[in-house]
Copies of this chain bind each other. A is one copy, B any other.
């Protein structure tokens, strides 16, 4: 099937996301036009997925579409922003109709779930690469950043990091897992759940926040460095899923939780005096987060077990190494 670029965009992406009243002009002209709400700042992020680098080849097209949007939603969640508009730059080797249909279904379902309109895009021929740019809103002066941490604040993380890394290893055939654990772990890699609602609620309680995408330990270190403090993480407090422990054992589960990457969870800090209020407003069992450490005055990240500093040399996934 041969399709021109404008046909592609029209057929597969014009009505792919949510319909929003603040979109004045969507897909199809030289640029999109939108209305910014008063009192809000614009939050903007971009993340790219490359086949063979960020996901194995082949991966179901719907999962690629979901994931390309999810990783950007996670960035806005970490700012406490509400997502609104996306642009999609899709480079693909050939314009296969079934591939595009499935990709658009995966992207579109997640977009609609978060009321995100797809307002523009560009399709080009080349090695499979998906860049999404996501725009959202946050009340003026209320955004969460990595720099708001101070010594003494409690450190929390959402979800169960490490699952996605095990899911990727399963996808790549590098790992086996019992039948009751494998589908869950695979799903955690293929269809990550960005914590958008949690990020928005955290504006009222958190002082600093970062999205955990390159490994918990490394990303925690970025937040600490941006805040000019250090961080102590409690090994015994690391939340690991039962499926992950069943798949790799308790020790490897914690190592994957610390360094695995692709989690798309939120790591955030809260003043101790606000902790009870946070946990009342956002019950932990419902919102699925847990205290895993504390910010310290001395720079650097240390992992402690029974009060003793552990030696841990990994520091998160690096794209170039």
Q: Which residues of A contact B (CB under 8 A)?
A: 2-6, 8, 24-25, 28-36, 38, 40-54, 74-76, 78-79, 81, 85, 87-89, 91, 94-95, 119-127, 129, 131, 133-136, 138, 140, 143, 145-147, 209-211, 214, 222, 226, 318-321
Q: Is the CB of B79 within 8 A of A143?
A: no
| 16 A-B pairs in the complex with CB atoms less than 8 angstroms apart | A4-B319, A8-B320, A30-B146, A33-B44, A34-B42, A35-B41, A36-B42, A38-B38, A45-B87, A46-B87, A46-B120, A46-B121, A48-B131, A52-B126, A127-B127, A133-B133
Per assembly, the copies of the chain total 2
A121 to chain B: which residues have CB within 8 Å? Answer: 46
Q: Complex Cα distance A69/B2, Å?
A: 28
Alpha-carbon separation in the docked complex, A43 to B33 (Å): 5
| Distance A278 CA – B320 CA, assembled complex (angstroms) | 53
Which of chain B's residues has its CB closest to A129's CB?
B129
Task: Give every chain B residue within 8 A of A209 (Cβ-Cβ).
Answer: 30
Please measure, in the bound complex, the distance between the C-alpha atom of A44 and the C-alpha atom of B135, giving whole angstroms: 10
Partner of A318, one of B5, B32, B46, B122: B5
Inter-subunit contact B87/A133 (CB<8 Å) = yes
B44 to A120, Cβ gap below 8 A? yes
